[in-house]
Amino acid sequence: MTMISDVDHPEGGPRKPVLSLRGISKHFGAVSALTNVDLDVHAGEVVALVGDNGAGKSTLVKILAGVHQPSSGTIAFGGEPVVLSDPSTALGLGIATVFQDLALCENLDVVANIFLGRELNPMRLDEVSMELRAWTLLNELSARIPSVREPVASLSGGQRQTVAIARSLLTEPKLILLDEPTAALGVAQTAEVLDLVERVRARGLGVIMISHNMEDVRAVADRIVVLRLGRNNGEFEPDASNQDLVTAITGADENSVSRRANRRHAHQSPELGR
Ligand SMILES: Nc1ncnc2c1ncn2[C@@H]1O[C@H](COP(=O)(O)OP(=O)(O)OP(=O)(O)O)[C@@H](O)[C@H]1O
């Protein structure tokens, strides 16, 4: 597996980002979903994208996946300006996306799901080679899947997420976008998926992970980027204080959020966009 960063800079100069967004805006009619967003992501880096409901996270990921076109701004990928005109262009350039619904085919087995879509089997591998490739990929990810011939309908939430991530790695992307990979998972399955994210990072990929769960974000992210009302409202180290994060996400400081929560007799810590 080639590490992108080392190849880019054999003399050891400053690391170039694999992805650079400059001044990205997106309007849906009168709604400004994103305004002038700048963002860099490096190879081997996990960037957590956090923000309240409607902050623009999904819109940003959909622009990178080629689903939406930005209204203005530029995207550079691998140091070159790119136009992500549709999903297959984004995938072909090396940007893979795992959407929240995972887009798995319930009745098909793990191998068939990993190779779902003709563009993922360009070499027209036969069944045995496909099974071997799927096994190798899952082993590299230390995935806990009992059998690649299981229909995905019989797998746990964490295992299904694993299959979807393995499928996205088949095309050897340089950047992977994960849309709330731990949503609705229990403690053990969340830990399994976060381990998987670590292993994807270790392969030298850049990772953008949308999450509403600050514990997950702190566990795995190298950097936390906060979107608020469609703008980049600050970038934080994973050990940033809750107060700083809550302030950036909601615009209110944590104490005033807690006071409001107490008045409602809430027993949980402030919810961040959930
Ligand atoms: N296809 C669309 N048409 C019109 N408005 C849209 C569309 N997609 C998103 N929006 C609007 O853009 C804004 C940002 O939405 P987006 O889904 O990107 O936020 P988000 O941060 O992903 O929120 P959530 O955490 O709830 O998923 C919202 O005001 C939303 O209503």
Could you tell me the pLDDT band of residue 263, with boundaries at 50, 70 and 90?
A: low
Tell me, yes or no, whether 50 lies in a domain: yes
Residue 261 lies in a domain: no
163 found inside a domain: yes
* Ligand 1 proximity of 92 Cβ (cutoff 6 Å): no
Q: Is the pTM of this model over 0.95?
A: no
Question: Looking at 6-10, 123-127, 204-208, 250-254, which range is the least confident one?
Answer: 6-10
* CATH classification at residue 43: 3.40.50.300
Q: Which residue has the higher pLDDT, 121 or 221?
A: 221
Q: What is d(CA 2, CA 24) in angstroms, rounded to the nearest whole number?
A: 30
Ligand 1 neighbour 55 (Cβ under 6 A): yes
Rounded-to-integer distance, Cα 274 and Cα 52, Å: 8
Among 21-35, 73-87, 149-163, 255-269, the minimum mean pLDDT is found in: 255-269
CA 59 to centroid of ligand 1, rounded, Å: 6
Domain assignment of residue 264, yes or no: no
- Atom of ligand 1 at shortest distance to CA of 55? 21
In a domain, residue 263? The reply is no
Evaluate: CB of 83 within 6 angstroms of ligand 1: no
Structural domain harbouring 233: 4-9+18-240
Look at phi and psi of residue 29 and say left if phi exceeds 0, alpha if psi is from -120 to 50, else beta: left
Residue 194 lies in a domain: yes
Q: Is residue 259 part of a domain?
A: no
Q: Into how many domains does the chain fold?
A: 1
d(CA 224, CA 236): 5
* CB of 205 shorter than 6 A to ligand 1: no
The pLDDT tens digits for 4-48 are 343 444 455 567 899 999 999 999 999 999 999 999 999 999 999
Confidence at 156, pLDDT banded by 50, 70, 90: confident
Which of 25, 26, 31 to mutate to test ligand 1, by most ligand atoms within 8 A of the CB atom? 31
Residue nearest ligand 1's atom 18 by CA: 56
Q: Average per-residue pLDDT in the chain?
A: 85
Residues 6+ apart with CB under 8 A from 28: none
Where does the chain show beta strands of DSSP type E? Answer: 19-28, 31-41, 46-50, 72-77, 80-81, 95-98, 175-179, 206-210, 223-228, 231-236
The answer to whether residue 266 is domain-embedded is: no
